[in-house]
């Protein structure tokens, strides 16, 4: 193949198109493109008819072949004709003289072409080096996606360069001058070296790509881990924040209760101080009384009968200082049961074995089943008598239906219970001096309705209201208060009240009390000119029994039996009010600022009796029957909790200014003139002025048990 001829033809064609080629100017056209386009043109020329003709002529003496021009462009005279062995057929003698300068020309043209191609190869090498540098920079680069794109781009370029290089080399080898000169050999070596370096670059690129892939996977993993970590941290933070908020709220509550406790403590301390001062002055009075008695005894004079001893109240001193609700427990007589055992006496215990679990309950006093009414009252008498010094005392019986609450509170006529004995004791203590004025009221709470058991007419539902703000207590509008001049009248009135009380037969008690009964006795002491008078209050509460509806036979399931439905409703309201009482006790025990007295009529009416400075005694009645064991344990638990309630040291109440009380609460100020001792007629008593007219009381009714 005669490359010079091709080039000259090619250049001639391009010149004729007015577009002279400028080989060796890679700045304008990329060398790779130049080489490639020239090679493509060469291939096209070879296939063209002229190329074929030249190729065919190449087998004959090429007298008309144009050698390349000296300025780099090829002319017909500069054709680098390389004689083939066939050309040797021309007689040597004639041809040698003409061919020598032609060969030299061809040689020069070939050298120029060689230099051109070498220059282009050099540029290609430089490009490769630049790409290698680019690759190096990419290795250090940061953007994974950009680097990858660049690598792909470079790889493609490398591939193209490699192909063009190998094509160029093949062409050079194929079309170059016959005997290989030293420069093409070096070119080939350089090409090989370039190939090697290209291969290296490709390998590096591949390795980089793999590395990139690995790093991307790692990055994905790290991103996932980071996200998870962030979520976990966020959740933990939120949880901790909530905990901190909860703790803060708890601390705030605790602080509020501590503040409350602090206030209570201050109150207790001042009350205690007052109580101590009262006790001191009382002791001084007793001492002076004793001294007077001594001196009177020494003088041989007899003291009046009513002044044979010191004033009452001493036995209750311990109770006052303790300030708790005392809890006494009485067991109903019956067949002894191995599941309930007692240690009777002060600080006694009741041990139960229920559902395989043994529990021991500690109480202030435990009465054995055979304890007498007198024995029980003996424990309560000091508290009862403390009312004469202006204390507020509340005694209430609590327990399951049929365990003896009414028996203990009222008792049969032949063996009276706490209430009759208390009245007797009080009147005995007051004597006939008429220094106290006694008023009585009696209500029952039946199905959450408060009814006056001593109303002159038929019992009406009364409204319970909160007393005036800041004065405490509650008011029962329309409640009748009776002045009671003597014990006999008092008994008559109590009998009347009991007979008005709602009772019904249940399977557990043929005369079951279906209501809570509250007897309130107010004892106003006369006020001597020097000292203020006192107003003590005694609340005697006979609670309706806590009972399981099904157990008491009050299920109300018998169709068409109105009594049964009525019993069920009664049982439900009784249990609800006892539950409210439990809530009040729990709040008092925890010294909460809010005590839910308003939850039921029972707790509303008991509010004055359970206020600060009052004395409360709970007489718990329990049964030892195995079938009642669950209820017994419940009652004991309730009593144990009640025993932890602190009401503060007992306080005396100053005498009200009114002649008659208008409220169950001794806290409520009363209107009218100061209370003065009066001697009422034996029968019939007259109701207080605020109670309206009243008919004479009839004979005492039957006593419900």
Nearer to ligand ADP, 386 or 500 (CB): 500
Does residue 351 have a known ligand-binding role? Answer: no
Closest separation between CB of residue 293 and ligand ADP, Å? 41
Does residue 250 have a known ligand-binding role? Answer: no
Answer with the entry of ligand ADP, Mg ion, none that 582 interacts with (C-beta below 5 to 8 A by kind).
none
Answer with the entry of ligand ADP, Mg ion, none that 498 interacts with (C-beta below 5 to 8 A by kind).
none
Nearer to Mg ion, 420 or 661 (CB): 420
Block residue for tokens 């540029």: 123
- Alpha helix ranges (H) inside 398-509: 405-409, 418-430, 487-499
Distance separating alpha carbons of residues 80 and 69, to the nearest angstrom: 10
Nearer to ligand ADP, 158 or 513 (CB): 513
Nearer to ligand ADP, 177 or 333 (CB): 333
Give the interface with ligand ADP as residue ranges (CB under 6 A): 332-333, 399, 401-407, 509, 512-513, 545, 621, 705
Q: Which two tokens stand for residue 112?
A: 């120029």
Closest separation between CB of residue 512 and ligand ADP, Å? 5
Closest separation between CB of residue 536 and ligand ADP, Å? 27
Answer with the entry of ligand ADP, Mg ion, none that 407 interacts with (C-beta below 5 to 8 A by kind).
ligand ADP
Nearer to ligand ADP, 385 or 636 (CB): 636
Nearest to 604 by CA among 482, 469, 500, 463: 463
Does residue 403 have a known ligand-binding role? Answer: yes
Question: What are the distances in angstroms from CA 629 to CA 307, 335, 695, 704?
Answer: 50, 14, 47, 26
Which residue number has the CB closest to ligand ADP? 404
- E-strand ranges in 320-399 read 326-331, 340-343, 345-346, 349-354, 357-362, 365-367, 392-399
Beta partners for residue 367, in sequence order: 330
Cβ pair 475, 669 in contact under 8 A: no
Distance separating alpha carbons of residues 195 and 161, to the nearest angstrom: 10
Distance separating alpha carbons of residues 344 and 666, to the nearest angstrom: 35
Give the interface with Mg ion as residue ranges (CB under 5 A): 405-406, 513
- Which residues contact residue 321 at a Cβ distance below 8 angstroms, ignoring those fewer than 6 apart? 272, 275, 649
Distance separating alpha carbons of residues 52 and 537, to the nearest angstrom: 143
Answer with the entry of Mg ion, ligand ADP, none that 267 interacts with (C-beta below 5 to 8 A by kind).
none
Closest separation between CB of residue 501 and ligand ADP, Å? 11
Q: Which two tokens stand for residue 573?
A: 């309201």
Distance separating alpha carbons of residues 121 and 169, to the nearest angstrom: 10
Does residue 417 have a known ligand-binding role? Answer: no
Nearer to ligand ADP, 384 or 620 (CB): 620
Answer with the entry of Mg ion, ligand ADP, none that 403 interacts with (C-beta below 5 to 8 A by kind).
ligand ADP
Closest separation between CB of residue 407 and ligand ADP, Å? 3
Distance separating alpha carbons of residues 63 and 171, to the nearest angstrom: 25
Answer with the entry of ligand ADP, Mg ion, none that 701 interacts with (C-beta below 5 to 8 A by kind).
none
Nearer to ligand ADP, 371 or 476 (CB): 371
Does residue 246 have a known ligand-binding role? Answer: no
Block residue for tokens 């063009």: 164
Does residue 247 have a known ligand-binding role? Answer: no
Range 75-94 burial, b when 16+ CB lie within 10 A, else e: bbebbbbbbeeebeebeeee
Answer with the entry of Mg ion, ligand ADP, none that 404 interacts with (C-beta below 5 to 8 A by kind).
ligand ADP
Residue list, annotated binding site: 399-406
Binding residues for ATP, by number, are 399-406
């Amino acid at each position: 193949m005669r490359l010079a001829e091709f080039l000259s033809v090619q250049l001639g064609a391009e010149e004729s198109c007015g577009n002279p080629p400028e080989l060796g100017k890679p700045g304008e056209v990329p060398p790779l493109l130049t080489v490639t386009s020239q090679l493509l043109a060469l291939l096209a020329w070879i296939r063209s008819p002229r190329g074929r003709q030249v190729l065919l002529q190449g087998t004959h003496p090429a007298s008309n072949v144009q050698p390349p021009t000296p300025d780099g462009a090829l002319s017909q005279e500069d054709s680098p004709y390389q004689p083939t062995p066939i050309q040797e057929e021309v007689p040597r003698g004639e041809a040698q003289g003409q061919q020598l300068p032609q060969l030299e020309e061809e040689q020069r043209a070939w050298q120029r072409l060689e230099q051109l191609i070498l220059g282009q190869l050099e540029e290609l090498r430089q490009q490769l080096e630049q790409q290698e540098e680019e690759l190096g920079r990419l290795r250090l680069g940061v953007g994974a996606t950009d680097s990858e794109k660049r690598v792909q781009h470079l790889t493609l370029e490398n591939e193209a360069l490699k192909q063009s290089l190998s094509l160029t080399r093949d062409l050079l080898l194929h079309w170059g001058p016959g005997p290989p000169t030293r420069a093409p050999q070096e070119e080939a070596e350089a090409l090989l070296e370039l190939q090697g370096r290209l291969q290296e670059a490709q390998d590096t690129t591949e390795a980089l790509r793999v590395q990139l892939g690995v790093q991307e996977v790692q990055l994905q993993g790290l991103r996932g881990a980071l996200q998870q970590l962030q979520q976990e941290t966020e959740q933990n933070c939120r949880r901790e924040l909530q905990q901190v908020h909860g703790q803060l709220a708890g601390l705030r509550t605790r602080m509020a209760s501590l503040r409350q406790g602090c206030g209570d403590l201050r109150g207790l301390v001042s009350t205690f101080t007052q109580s101590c001062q009262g006790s001191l002055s009382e002791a001084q009075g007793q001492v002076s009384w004793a001294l007077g008695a001594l001196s009177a005894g020494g003088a041989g004079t007899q003291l009046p009968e009513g002044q044979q001893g010191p004033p009452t109240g001493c036995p209750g001193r311990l109770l006052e200082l303790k300030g708790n609700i005392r809890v006494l427990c009485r067991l109903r007589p019956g067949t002894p049961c191995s599941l309930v055992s007692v240690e009777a006496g002060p600080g006694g215990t009741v041990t139960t074995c229920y559902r395989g679990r043994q529990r021991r309950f500690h109480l202030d006093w435990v009465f054995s089943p055979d304890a007498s009414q007198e024995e029980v009252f003996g424990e309560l008498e000091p508290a009862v008598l403390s009312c004469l010094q202006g204390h507020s005392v509340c005694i209430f019986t609590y327990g399951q239906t049929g365990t003896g609450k009414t028996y203990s509170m009222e008792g049969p006529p032949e063996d009276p219970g706490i209430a009759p004995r208390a009245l007797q004791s009080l009147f005995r203590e007051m004597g006939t001096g008429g220094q106290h004025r006694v008023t009585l009221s009696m209500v029952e709470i039946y199905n959450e309705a408060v009814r006056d058991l001593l109303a002159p007419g038929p019992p009406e539902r009364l409204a319970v209201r909160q007393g005036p703000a800041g004065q405490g207590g509650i008011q029962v509008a329309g409640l009748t208060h009776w002045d009671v001049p003597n014990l006999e009248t008092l008994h008559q009135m109590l009998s009347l009240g009991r007979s008005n009380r709602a009772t019904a037969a249940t399977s557990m008690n043929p005369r079951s009390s279906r209501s809570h009964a509250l007897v309130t006795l107010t004892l106003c002491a006369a006020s001597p000119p020097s000292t203020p008078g006192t107003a003590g209050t005694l609340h005697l509460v006979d609670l309706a029994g806590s009972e399981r509806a099904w157990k008491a036979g009050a299920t109300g399931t018998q169709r068409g039996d109105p009594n049964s439905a009525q019993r069920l409703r009664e049982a439900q309201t009784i249990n609800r009010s006892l539950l409210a009482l439990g809530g009040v006790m729990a709040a008092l025990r925890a010294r909460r600022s809010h005590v839910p007295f308003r939850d039921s009529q029972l707790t509303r009416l008991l509010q004055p009796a359970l206020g600060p400075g009052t004395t409360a005694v709970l007489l718990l009645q329990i049964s030892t029957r195995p079938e009642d064991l669950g209820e017994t344990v419940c009652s004991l638990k309730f009593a144990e909790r009640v025993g932890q309630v602190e009401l503060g040291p007992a306080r005396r109440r100053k005498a009200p200014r009114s002649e008659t009380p208008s409220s169950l609460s001794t806290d409520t100020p009363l209107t009218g003139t100061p209370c003065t001792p009066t001697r009422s007629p034996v029968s019939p008593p007259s109701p207080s002025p605020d109670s309206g007219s009243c008919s004479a009381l009839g004979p005492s009714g039957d006593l419900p048990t």
